[in-house]
């Protein structure tokens, strides 16, 4: 889940007459609740949340809001009791958010790293959807790996076993489908020339039936513009879907959402697959608070989302970026998009 770290729950009014001890003693719990939302088509702190330079972005309308979960730490006993009787916040053991053997700064750093990766995956998924050029390159070749001395860092992978590949995931799947011990032709573009490199694949560590080259790949956009995401103090991977939708909206004609106030959540990989997240019911509440009428829910979160649906919010089930875009087009035309349940 994307987490927004906020101040303790001073805004909650104690419901009980509590002693001085209750208002000073800290408890080993945190409170989870709705965090702020951000319109990925709008601005934050005077900058576009999704900024595109080098090409004129297309005009957009409506909203595409990413949602967060607020984490309230250092609760007193009084505040914990208030949360306990609240239907808006939930208590969870502090160690589930801040493991005892990991510093709070390290948790934040890990969350930020996941957020940064979600930004990159969101951009790549959008570019693939728009059929814009992205190359798959060899980023690293392992020591004593099957590909050592055969593939090189910077090689652009064009095809595996004669089949074109366009994403890092497609390379991994193509190689993994080959039986260990088999000779595999990998077509690469090296110094401007295509050539076939034959590699005998080995067994993937931890998965002896899958093929393995011992390389790390990366996807590199080859477009005449740059995409920058301008949000601070947010962590976790679950903004991916909404970021990707904003990039697609700004790089394609017409409003993607038909002018609707749409919110959503979900991880995304460069293939455009949408994954489940944590804190879905809190995110639904935050979306309604900020005026959303439609919420894009990862398929893996639908069952939980249906346990507590805010009034006036339509839940749309999504499994991929393409599916989310199709659903928005259907809603914009007045149709029925796939619904949770």
DSSP per position, 227-266: EEE---S-BSSTTHHHHHHHHHHHTSSS-TTTT-EEEE--
Q: Give the C-alpha separation, 118 to 112, whole Å.
A: 10
Per the prediction, the chain carries an average pLDDT of 90
Write out pLDDT tens, residues 12-68: 444 444 455 556 677 787 888 899 999 999 999 999 999 999 999 999 999 999 999
pLDDT of residue 2: 61
Asked if residue 136 has pLDDT above 90, the reply is yes
CA dist 152 to 67, 137, 138, 214, Å? 41, 9, 7, 12
Work out whether strand 90-93 and strand 69-72 pair parallel, antiparallel, or are unpaired.
Answer: unpaired
Residues 6 or more apart from 95 whose CB is under 8 A from it? Answer: 28
Quickly list H helices, 130-262.
168-176, 240-250
pLDDT of residue 234: 86
Q: Give the C-alpha separation, 245 to 249, whole Å.
A: 6
Q: Give the C-alpha separation, 273 to 319, whole Å.
A: 6
Write out pLDDT tens, residues 248-306: 999 999 899 999 999 999 999 999 999 999 999 999 999 999 999 999 999 999 999 99
Q: Give the C-alpha separation, 255 to 166, whole Å.
A: 27
Q: Give the C-alpha separation, 157 to 139, whole Å.
A: 11
Contact of 266 with 276, CB cutoff 8 Å: yes
Other CB atoms closer than 10 Å to residue 88's CB: what's the count? 12
The mean pLDDT value for 310-315 works out to: 96
Q: Give the C-alpha separation, 147 to 149, whole Å.
A: 6
Contact of 68 with 36, CB cutoff 8 Å: yes
pLDDT of residue 217: 96
Can you say how many angstroms the Cα of residue 291 is from the centroid of all Cα atoms in its chain? Answer: 22
Task: Answer yes or no: pTM beyond 0.85.
Answer: yes
Residue 95 DSSP class = G
User: Looking at 22-26, 97-101, 133-137, 167-171, which range is the least confident one?
Assistant: 22-26
């Amino acid at each position: 889940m994307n987490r927004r770290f906020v101040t303790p729950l001073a805004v909650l009014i104690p419901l009980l007459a509590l002693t001085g001890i209750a208002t000073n003693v800290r408890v080993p719990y945190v409170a989870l609740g709705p965090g702020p939302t951000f319109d990925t088509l709008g601005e934050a702190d005077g900058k576009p949340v999704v900024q595109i330079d080098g090409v004129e972005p297309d005009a957009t309308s409506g909203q595409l809001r990413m949602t967060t979960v607020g984490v309230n730490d250092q609760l007193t006993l009084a505040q914990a009791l208030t949360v306990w009787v609240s239907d808006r916040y939930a208590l969870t053991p502090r160690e589930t958010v801040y493991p005892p053997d990991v510093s709070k700064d390290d948790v934040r750093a890990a969350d930020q790293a996941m957020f940064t990766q979600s930004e990159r995956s969101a951009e790549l998924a959008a570019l693939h959807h728009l059929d814009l050029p992205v190359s798959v390159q060899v980023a690293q070749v392992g020591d004593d790996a099957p590909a050592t001395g055969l593939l090189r860092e910077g090689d652009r992978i064009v095809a595996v076993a004669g089949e074109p590949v366009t994403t890092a995931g497609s390379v991994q799947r193509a190689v993994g489908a080959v039986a260990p011990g088999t000779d595999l032709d990998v077509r690469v573009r090296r110094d401007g020339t295509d050539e076939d490199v034959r590699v005998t694949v080995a067994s993937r560590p931890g998965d002896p039936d899958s093929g393995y080259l011992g390389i790390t790949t990366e996807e590199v956009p080859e477009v005449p513009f740059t995409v920058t995401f301008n949000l601070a103090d947010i962590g976790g991977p679950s903004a991916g879907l909404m970021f990707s939708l904003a990039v697609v909206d700004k790089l394609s004609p017409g409003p993607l959402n038909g002018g609707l106030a749409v919110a959503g959540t979900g991880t995304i990989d460069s293939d455009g697959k949408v994954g489940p997240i944590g804190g879905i019911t809190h995110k639904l509440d935050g979306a309604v608070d900020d005026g959303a009428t439609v919420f894009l829910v990862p398929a893996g979160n639908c069952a939980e989302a249906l346990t507590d649906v805010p009034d006036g919010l339509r839940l749309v089930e999504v499994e991929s970026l393409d599916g989310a875009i199709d659903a928005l087009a259907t809603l914009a035309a007045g149709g029925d998009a796939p619904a949770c349940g």
